[in-house]
Amino acid sequence: MYVHIENLSFSYPKTPVLHQLTFTMQKGEILAIIGSSGSGKSTLLRTLSGLEMPACGRIHIAGETVCDTSRCTPADKREVGFVFQDYALFPHRTVAQNIAFGLHKTPRKARQARVDALLEMIAMTGFARRYPHQLSGGQQQRVALARALAPMPKMLLLDEPFSNIDTDLKHTIRLELASLLKKANMTSILVTHDEEDARMLADRVIVLEGGRIVHEERVVRTPRH
């Protein structure tokens, strides 16, 4: 299994949030997590990315144990990409600089090439020198995605990526995102409120309630057009 999560539990001071979660994922699989507000979806992503430390449990990603009882790799060494709910694009950096931010270890030439390729992938080549506040919600979402993909993470976590985008646009963006992720063969977890999102994008859906997995199902996909 490419991703393997075992008995994962987490609590904030005084508030237990996740209880003994166990699930696995295959390489390239897209997993959707749905659940009501406060059920712990964001917290699960934060724990997987290394921003929070679980109380107990194990996390294996790409053949490596990134977290168990004895040690825990911090976020900056875990190579897990994260697309934040409000995108968190750095306001003082241009689109290109945002995308290049995670490529600080890549040589300059290669970095430039990668940024160009990603800009082309998200169809925003002309926007390289704009600042985030000069972009629409959908454009910001695409830049955030490109930024997270740039360092070629082992997996990608997306926290409600469509929540800031209105319904008209949502449909196209959803399709785009699905094809982008598939093209990159990116193992991804997507948090959403919307079952339609889940069904259109994911290979599998997990329903989280009160920090526990209450339901899991494989999506029988209606063939895409």
Partner 1 sequence: MKRRINHDGPLFSLFALIAGLAIIVPLLFILRHLFEPSTDAWRHIRQIWLLAYIRNTSVMIFWTAFGTALIGTYAAVLTTRYTFFGVRVLSWMLVLPLAVPAYIAGYVYADMLSYTGTVTRFLRLVSLPQLLQPMTMAGAVFIFVFTLYPYVYLFVRAALKRQSAAYAESALTLGVGPFRAFFLVVLPLLRPALIGGVFLVVLETLNDYGLVAYFNIRVFSFAIFNAWFSFGEVVTAIRLSAVLLIMVFVILVLERVLRGHRRYTVHVKGRVIAARPLRGLARVVHPFCLWLILGFGFLFPTMQLMHYAVLTWRNTLNMTLFYNFMNTLTIALGSTALIVVIALMLANFGRFRPKGWKRAWLKATTLGYAIPGAVIAIAVNLFFITVDRQLYPLYRWLNPASPVLVLSMSLGMLVFAYILRFMAIGYNSIEAGYDKLGETFTEAAYTLNHRKLSTLLKIDVPLLKSSLFAAAVIVFIDVVKELPLTLILRPANYDTLASRIYEYASDEMIQDTGVASLILIMMSALLIYALSGPKKRGRSAHVRPY
Ligand X SMILES: Nc1ncnc2c1ncn2[C@@H]1O[C@H](COP(=O)(O)OP(=O)(O)OP(=O)(O)O)[C@@H](O)[C@H]1O
Task: Report how far residue 48's alpha carbon sits from residue 23's, in angstroms, rounded to the nearest whole number.
Answer: 12
Considering beta carbons, is residue 1 or 53 the nearer one to partner 1?
A: 53
Q: Does 42 bind Mg ion (CB under 5 A)?
A: yes
Considering beta carbons, is residue 14 or 218 the nearer one to partner 1?
A: 14
The only residue of 57, 102, 161, 211 in contact with partner 1, by rule CB under 8 A:
102
Sole residue written with tokens 């059920």: 39
Q: Which option in partner 1, ligand X, Mg ion, none does residue 147 bind, with CB closer than 5 to 8 A by kind?
A: partner 1
Considering beta carbons, is residue 31 or 99 the nearer one to partner 1?
A: 99
CA dist 129 to 36, 93, 94, 119, 135, Å?
39, 9, 5, 11, 11
Query: Which residues inside 144-183 make contact with partner 1, applying CB under 8 A?
Result: 147-148, 150-151
Query: b or e along 126-146 (b: 16 or more beta carbons within 10 Å of the residue's beta carbon)?
Result: ebbeebbeebeebbbbbbbbb
Q: Which range, of 9-17, 48-56, 135-143, 144-152, touches ligand X by CB under 6 A? A: 9-17
CB of 82 to partner 1, least distance (A): 4
The only residue of 35, 44, 52, 181 in contact with partner 1, by rule CB under 8 A:
52
Q: Is residue 154 within 8 Å of residue 187, measured between CB atoms? A: yes
Nearest-Å Rg of the Cα atoms of the chain is 17
Quote the strand ranges of 13-99, DSSP E.
15-25, 30-35, 56-61, 64-67, 80-83
Q: Does 111 bind ligand X (CB under 6 A)?
A: no
Query: Which residues inside 32-51 make contact with ligand X, applying CB under 6 A?
Result: 35, 37-43
Considering beta carbons, is residue 88 or 175 the nearer one to partner 1?
A: 88
CB of 95 to ligand X, least distance (A): 27
Residue 204 token pair: 């599998």
Task: Report how far residue 168's alpha carbon sits from residue 94's, in angstroms, rounded to the nearest whole number.
Answer: 27
Task: Give the residues across from 159 on adjacent strands.
Answer: 191
Task: Report how far residue 215's alpha carbon sits from residue 5's, in angstroms, rounded to the nearest whole number.
Answer: 16
Q: Does 225 bind partner 1 (CB under 8 A)?
A: no
Query: Which residues inside 116-135 make contact with partner 1, applying CB under 8 A?
Result: 131, 133
Q: Which option in Mg ion, ligand X, partner 1, none does residue 16 bind, with CB closer than 5 to 8 A by kind?
A: none
